[in-house]
Structure 1
Amino acid sequence: MRCGCVVERLDSGSEGTDAPSMEASLELDVLIYPDEVRVATPDDFREWELETASQVSLPTVRLFVALYPYNPAAMSPNPETAAEELPFVPGQIIKSGGLSGYVPSNMVAEVPVDDEYLKDLLLQQGFLPVDPSDRGIIMTFGSGSNGCLGHGNFNDVTQPKIVEALLGYELVQVSCGASHVLAVTNEREVFAWGRGDNGRLGLGTQDSHNCPQQVSLPMEVEAQKVECGVDCSMIISTRLSILACGSNRFNKLGLDQIAAGEEVGPASQVEEVHSFAPVRSAPLNNERIVQVDVGTAHSVAVTDRGQCFTFGSNQHGQIGCSSRRSSRAPYLVTGLQGITVAACGDAFTLAVGSEGEVYTWGKGARGRLGRKEEDSGIPRPVQLEETHPFTVTSVACCHGNTLLAVKPLLDESVTR
């Protein structure tokens, strides 16, 4: 072992005094061996420098999974470096580092594995499925606040990154809240992570988690779909019943115990629950629910008979009744039949009929309802572009915005 030390040279003091004085100090390198300590010689220095020069720091090996096919000879944006880039096909495990070549970051996702043995196993395997419809790997990116990305930390991520904790599971559906996530596996298991306030994760506490946690459900419940609200969560079971957890303000989760045709008393009001519990507000607790969505303070549910129920706050008419009724009981929206899907914005509601027709109601500010008039307490149709007839295939609302996925309505009157 090589270390440094300082040797002090002491000379006697000036004439006529007995006290020694420090005149100079000499800094030396010493070598420490099991059986001796000695001053380093010039030969020792030369030998140590040669050893140091031979210890080249090797770059860290990183593993990536390819998301898209890539042929650098034809696709590289930098032809002068194309020879150093690696070609790949979707799902291929790619080794980057040292002399292994380079990969474009927007075409791959890093596999967050530090263990060298596991790295070797993945390289031998050669491929990982990247199509969610195939094996259901989940990737997250964006803000890592409250641990909502599920990577075991609170860091932001700018590229899609595999959630390593769920690599052994096949994910079939996920939902994001404001700062938490729920996911369902092909075995009907539910995992939750992120912010835990109000019990929105359904784990029995209000603790936050930066890594996926399996949710404990009643034995008879098998999850089919999950839905995250701002501060709450819902599950539709395979039996088409609803379970919910988190904030039940205004009874937006239907957790108040309400009999048909009755209003709830203060003693039966539930403000929040920390574990998933069955909906108890009639008639939701007796209907077969095929789809739900949660807004800021209200929710909507669609039954297997095409009925549309709303429940929660009606401050802006988002419940869909003709008056600004204030009730915690679910409301069957009249005038709508054959509803296939519905969605909630911050204070408005949207529903799509079996023929692709779109209805909106509630807060109308800033074009929320897709038409010029302001708030509407009853559903009204939205006029889609007449020159290009469409049928709506999917819908999503977030705060004050709506996104419709459409396809051309192919019939004899439409030019192909």
Structure 2
Amino acid sequence: MADVGDTMSEVSAPVRRVLLISAGASHSVALLSGNVVCSWGRGEDGQLGHGDAEDRLSPTYLSALDGHEVVSVTCGADHTTAYSESFAQVYSWGWGDFGRLGHGNSSDLFTPQPIKALHGLRIKQIACGDSHCLAVTMDGEVQSWGRNQNGQLGLGTTEDSLVPQKIQAFQGVSVKMVAAGAEHTAAVTEDGELYGWGWGRYGNLGLGDRNDRLVPEKVSTVEVQGVKMVKVACGWRHTISVSSSGGLYTYGWSKYGQLGHGDFEDHLTPHKLEALQENLISEISGGWRHTMALTSDGKLYGWGWNKFGQVGVGDNVDHCSPVQVKFPHEQKVVHISCGWRHTLAVTERQNVFSWGRGTNGQLGHGESIDR
């Protein structure tokens, strides 16, 4: 297992506790205790929410969300969302093309604005892809909006939606969580069933073929029969899921080894990752072409495309099998998030680490270089 060496750098530990981190294409957002939101990295499309189009090379306090009691933040490729439980309100900002901000138009927004169509809904989770978003309510219903050229909204059409719409295909099904890729979407239900829809050219829907789906379809291939899924994540064009027993499954595009099966072959159905079968997986994240998995005992593994060192193992070589990421003083990791070309991690000591592409300051170290 390779030592990270100088490829990984630590962002100075904040005074407040880090509750959540989320990485977009070239920007990063963190939620701190006290409902404080910070953002940094690329700001050209307003995705940082500071009211301008400037990059930020270090974590910068997002004053526009003062007093809104934000409890979650999620990055899309070039846009961002936040949710306030007290106000029962979802906010969005950044690049607005294809209606991905949910405000009924395609305009960019440089400060957070409430999505009126979601006001009053109790939100369990939000997922943002390249150009589309989804929100799961506490009742297990799913709202989707944004780009829909391959049916990734699950509405039965290929028409973009400028405002959130309920996915009717989940009527009678309680959804636990959703994940959004470039043009595809995945979901796990409270019963442990796995669904896929949208763009399926690389088998990233897990349905055994390369066809698109305009509505959610249950993954019922032999590999997952009798397996209860509890988590799902999407990379750009691959999908990762975790079973109730901590097993890791991947499928879809694998040109860069991002599925982790020791080869560079696409898989059209979920395949269990044998290399990590002795580990209980607790958290997963998919980047543009790389994947990270966190074990229940705080160990982090990465694999896939590694041109900018985003896998975090001390080299720039693609890895088709999991490699452990080493941290100073063997700190245990508690949270991870993959951007397109960079990765973020929080350790039990409340240190935030970042590595990979840094040209827009998305690593948060006050400079615009890769690490």
Instruction: Return the structure number with greater strand share.
Output: 2
Distance 1:280 1:159, change over 3 A: same
1:261-300 equivalences under 5 Å are: 269-300=209-240
Is 1:303 paired with 2:255? no
Q: Which amino acid aligns with 1:250?
A: Y
Q: Which residue of 1 aligns with 2:320?
A: 377
Equivalent of 1:396 in 337, 348, 371: 337
Cα deviation digits, residues 125-172 of structure 1 (max 9, x gap): xxxxx9734353101111211111111122221211111112132222
SS in 1 for 2:275: coil
CA distance in 2, matches of 1:105, 1:287: 44
Distance 1:183 1:394, change over 3 A: same
Q: Which residue of 1 aligns with 2:40?
A: none
Equivalent of 1:252 in 178, 199, 204: 204
CA distance in 1, matches of 2:99, 2:84: 22
CA distance in 1, matches of 2:83, 2:142: 20
CA distance in 1, matches of 2:94, 2:221: 37
The Cα shift of 1:284 comes to 2.6
1:54-133 equivalences under 5 Å are: 106=64, 132-133=84-85
Distance 1:170 1:323, change over 3 A: closer
Distance 1:156 1:131, change over 3 A: closer
The Cα shift of 1:321 comes to 2.2
Residue 244 of structure 1 contacts residue 255 of structure 1 at CA under 8 Å; is this kept in 2?
Answer: yes
Equivalent of 1:163 in 76, 90, 115: 115
SS in 2 for 1:315: coil
Equivalent of 1:194 in 134, 138, 146: 146
| Matched-pair identity in % | 28
The Cα shift of 1:323 comes to 3.2
Residue 133 of structure 1 contacts residue 172 of structure 1 at CA under 8 Å; is this kept in 2?
Answer: no
Q: Which residue of 2 aligns with 1:332?
A: 272
Q: Which amino acid aligns with 1:162?
A: P
Equivalent of 2:295 in 342, 353, 371: 353
CA distance in 2, matches of 1:245, 1:225: 14
CA distance in 2, matches of 1:369, 1:392: 15
Distance 1:329 1:236, change over 3 A: closer
CA distance in 2, matches of 1:188, 1:402: 30
SS in 2 for 1:291: strand
CA distance in 1, matches of 2:155, 2:348: 40
Instruction: Return the structure number with greater helix share.
Output: 1
Cα deviation digits, residues 210-230 of structure 1 (max 9, x gap): 111111134441111111111
Distance 1:285 1:270, change over 3 A: farther
Residue 202 of structure 2 contacts residue 266 of structure 2 at CA under 8 Å; is this kept in 1?
Answer: no
CA distance in 1, matches of 2:265, 2:118: 45
Residue 96 of structure 2 contacts residue 107 of structure 2 at CA under 8 Å; is this kept in 1?
Answer: yes
Residue 181 of structure 1 contacts residue 192 of structure 1 at CA under 8 Å; is this kept in 2?
Answer: yes
Distance 1:186 1:322, change over 3 A: closer
CA distance in 2, matches of 1:303, 1:146: 34
Q: Which residue of 2 aligns with 1:406?
A: 347
Is 1:229 paired with 2:184? no
Q: Which residue of 2 aligns with 1:23?
A: none
Q: Which amino acid aligns with 1:288?
A: K
Q: Kindly indicate whether structure 1 or structure 2 has the higher relative contact order, using CA contacts under 8 Å at least 6 residues apart.
A: 2
Residue 318 of structure 1 contacts residue 347 of structure 1 at CA under 8 Å; is this kept in 2?
Answer: yes
The Cα shift of 1:109 comes to 9.1
1:22-33 equivalences under 5 Å are: none
Distance 1:353 1:210, change over 3 A: same
Unaligned ranges ≥5, structure 1: 1-67, 70-103, 111-129, 257-268, 410-416
Q: Which amino acid aligns with 2:325?
A: V
1:25-64 equivalences under 5 Å are: none
Distance 1:109 1:278, change over 3 A: same
CA distance in 1, matches of 2:266, 2:139: 41
Q: Which residue of 2 aligns with 1:205?
A: 157
Q: Which residue of 2 aligns with 1:35?
A: none
TM-score by length of 2: 0.69
CA distance in 2, matches of 1:377, 1:142: 34
Q: Which amino acid aligns with 1:298?
A: H
TM-score by length of 1: 0.62
RMSD: 2.5
- More divergent stretch after superposition (297-306 vs 282-291): 282-291
Residue 150 of structure 1 contacts residue 163 of structure 1 at CA under 8 Å; is this kept in 2?
Answer: yes
Q: Which amino acid aligns with 1:170?
A: R
Unaligned ranges ≥5, structure 2: 1-33, 36-61, 69-81, 351-371
Residue 132 of structure 1 contacts residue 172 of structure 1 at CA under 8 Å; is this kept in 2?
Answer: no
Residue 178 of structure 2 contacts residue 187 of structure 2 at CA under 8 Å; is this kept in 1?
Answer: yes
The count of corresponding residues between Structure 1 and Structure 2 is 276
The Cα shift of 1:106 comes to 2.9
Q: Which amino acid aligns with 2:342?
A: N
CA distance in 2, matches of 1:174, 1:357: 26
SS in 2 for 1:396: strand
